[in-house]
Amino acid sequence: MMPATGRSIVVVYTLWERTVRVRFPAPRFMDQEQEIALKQLEELRKRTGKPMRLAAEGWGSEWQTLIAIIMSARTRDETTIEVCKKLFAKYKTVGALAGAKENEVAEIIRPVNFYRNKTKNIISACRKLVEQFGDTVPHTLDELVTIPGVGRKTANVFRAEYGASAIGVDTHVSFISQKLGWTAHKDPSKIEKDLEKLFPQSHWRVVNQICVRFGKTHTSRREKDGLLEEIKDIL
């Protein structure tokens, strides 16, 4: 149980090579459902095993982060990171990648799934950043989703990486949310709304990161289901 105090509680999450400080609302301001969900989220975090780098993390510029997230769809983070290192070593600026030849980019990113479509998307995305956003990446959801290859999930993962209150609903978040009863929906946009209602806004940015790390740590479906059943019983 959380301490019976009227004050909020600051918790520091260690995520890969950085820490994220989030503030729990004072228990007297939380209903039972919200308090249980926060305990479950913390238990997921505890069971994520060794620190791991996700595709969105650790890049030197925002355009690289966005391209890495686009590339990570349906692809292991480990693969995405290594491919992006090679890609960004050849194309050191957003302008350089915007002007790249498709066949040369495709050859570099061949290890990622759907590399042909992603080749077109990342070059077009960089062109959009150069031509419409002055070589920078916008941070609003409405602007981000106008960029080729960027849907709501990708936009929210990017925004959360840079401190915004946003929940990127991917397959890990969707699966865990349904298993733990955080949502009854399967549509990502509806799941996102349910999670925004359930969790304090201070926690939105870590929901995806924690769920993804849990999912990547426990790859056996049977093991994962068993652990989630235990976590679901937390009161």
Condensed to tens digits (0 to 9), the pLDDT of residues 28-85 reads 456 889 999 999 999 999 999 888 999 999 999 999 999 999 999 999 999 999 999 9
Question: What pLDDT is stored for residue 22 in this prediction?
Answer: 59
Catalytic option among 46, 90, 153, 193: 153
Residue 153 annotated among the catalytic residues of the structure = yes
Integer Rg of the chain from CA: 19
pLDDT in tens, 146-155: 999 999 999 9
Q: Which domains does the chain have, with CATH numbers?
A: 9-47+165-232 (1.10.1670.10), 62-161 (1.10.340.30)
pLDDT in tens, 151-200: 999 999 999 999 999 999 999 999 999 999 999 999 999 999 999 999 99
pTM reported for the whole predicted model? 0.89
In this prediction, residues 78-106 reach a mean pLDDT of: 98
